[in-house]
């Protein structure tokens, strides 16, 4: 909020509950029944009171796209996840301290509808419509709300990315927030390195920079690579083009369809001399796009792109790569690249610009009609 908000006094309403009678005492349950009920109540209470599980920043980055990071100067930064039951709509939370205040930032894919994730429900004293800098190129619509109570003030900022279908919230509580600007903090947690396309290769065929999990010294087979993998990682063997490759994922998740799915993978292949080599790294934009194969091609996607990998001399290359970019007015431009095909064959001009989204839609259809990869998990 870019302005100071004057104190608004409100009246208090006190509700009293009085007993209307007294029922006859019921028969006391057996001791074992009491103990069982207490145990069940304890479990239920624990589950309700502790819905969050600790997580790493990297895991949270992989669960949601276009994420945030702690602002400069923040301390006591902690990440957590509330499992929603839907692996594609996990609720991610970051808490941190800054300038003697504690903050909670949340993000979740909510589809076509914006949602207030803050969990703060007050009769708001002031509500302002704002436009956040940084987010969506400085054109992100948001709302800042403030509650002024007798003993505490509450500030909440919420915003919704219509392009990705993600809702965001940032909240803080303090004894006095007069002169404080929560909008500035919402803008400060924007992380350009976590936005779609931040790590996109600039030249055709170039893969993301990545440090492999395994040192290949002493490895003569894929099996020996697997023997070196850390707990929690996963692996699977596939045919990529005409090449047998080993895919190694840093982590996996249950997609509720019978797969230990993954969104990233190190790619290993064999050299001409028969020794294993690290061949590259691929990564999708989130759990809504688990790695999939169709006709010996690997599909790696996100809300605004789809990459289709095959193999060239044992290394992954783009069979097709289509994506969309939006200008400040929300108008989309569609692009195409390929390491193997003439881009004119799909109607792209010399700059790779397509006239519509038909190619991107086709690649999405191929991906979703393919087979989600199932990774064996290292225990």
Per-position pLDDT tens, the chain of length 379? 443 333 333 333 333 333 333 334 344 444 444 445 444 544 444 445 568 999 999 888 878 878 999 999 999 999 999 987 777 788 999 999 999 999 999 999 888 889 999 999 999 999 999 999 989 888 899 999 999 999 999 999 999 988 778 899 999 999 999 999 999 999 999 998 887 655 444 443 444 568 889 899 999 999 999 999 999 999 999 999 999 999 999 999 988 888 999 999 999 999 989 999 999 999 998 888 999 999 999 999 988 899 999 998 888 999 999 999 887 777 889 999 999 999 999 999 998 999 999 999 999 999 999 999 999 999 9
- What is the predicted pLDDT for the residue at 209? 67
- DSSP lists the bridge partners of residue 265 as 282
CA distances from 306 to 63, 282, 357 (A): 18, 12, 12
- What is the predicted pLDDT for the residue at 137? 80
* Separation between Cα atoms, residue 256 and residue 286, nearest integer Å: 16
Tell which residue, 69, 149, 53, has the closest CA to residue 103: 69
Q: How many CB atoms lie within 10 A of CB 141?
A: 15
- DSSP lists the bridge partners of residue 334 as 324, 354
State the DSSP string of 69-133: -PPTT-EEEEEEEE--S-TTSPEEEEEEEETTEEEEEEEEE-TTS----S------SEEEEEEES
Tokens of 18: 């009085």
Q: What is the pTM of this model?
A: 0.56
- DSSP lists the bridge partners of residue 52 as 82
Domain ranges (residues) in the chain: 51-194, 222-377
Using an 8 Å Cβ cutoff, are 247 and 373 in contact? yes
Architecture of the domain whose range is 51-194: 3-Layer(aba) Sandwich (3.40)
């Amino acid at each position: 909020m870019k302005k100071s908000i004057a104190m608004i006094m409100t009246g208090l309403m006190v509700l009293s509950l009085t007993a209307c009678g007294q029922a006859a005492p019921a028969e006391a349950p057996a001791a074992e029944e009491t103990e069982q009920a207490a145990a069940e109540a304890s479990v239920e209470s624990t589950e309700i009171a502790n819905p969050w599980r600790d997580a790493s920043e990297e895991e949270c980055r992989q669960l949601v796209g276009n994420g945030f990071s702690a602002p400069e100067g923040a301390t006591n930064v902690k990440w957590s996840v509330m499992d929603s039951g839907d692996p594609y709509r996990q609720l991610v939370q970051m808490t941190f301290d800054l300038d003697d205040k504690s903050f909670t930032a949340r993000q979740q894919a909510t589809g076509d509808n914006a949602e207030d994730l803050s969990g703060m429900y007050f009769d708001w004293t002031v509500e302002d419509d704002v436009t956040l800098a940084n987010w969506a190129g400085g054109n992100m619509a948001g709302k800042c709300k403030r509650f002024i109570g007798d003993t505490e003030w509450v500030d909440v900022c919420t915003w919704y990315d219509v392009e990705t279908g993600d809702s965001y919230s940032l909240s803080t509580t303090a004894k006095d927030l007069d002169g404080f600007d929560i909008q500035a903090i919402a803008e400060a947690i924007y992380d350009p390195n976590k936005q779609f396309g931040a790590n996109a290769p600039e030249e055709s065929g170039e893969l993301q920079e990545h440090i492999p999990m395994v040192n290949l010294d002493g490895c003569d087979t894929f099996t020996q690579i697997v023997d070196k993998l850390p707990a929690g990682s996963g692996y699977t063997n596939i045919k990529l083009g005409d090449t047998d490759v080993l895919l190694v994922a840093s982590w996996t998740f249950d997609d509720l369809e019978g797969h230990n799915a993954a969104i990233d993978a190190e790619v290993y292949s064999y050299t001409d001399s028969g020794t294993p080599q690290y061949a590259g790294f691929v990564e999708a934009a989130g759990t809504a796009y688990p790695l999939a194969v169709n006709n010996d091609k690997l599909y790696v996607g996100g809300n605004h792109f789809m990459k289709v990998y095959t193999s060239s001399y044992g290394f992954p290359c783009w069979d097709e790569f289509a994506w969309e970019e939006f200008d400040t007015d929300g108008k989309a431009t569609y692009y195409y690249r390929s390491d193997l095909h003439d881009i004119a064959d799909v109607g792209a001009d010399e700059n790779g610009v397509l006239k519509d989204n038909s190619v991107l839609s086709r690649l999405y259809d191929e991906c979703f009609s393919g087979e989600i990869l199932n990774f064996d998990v290292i225990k």
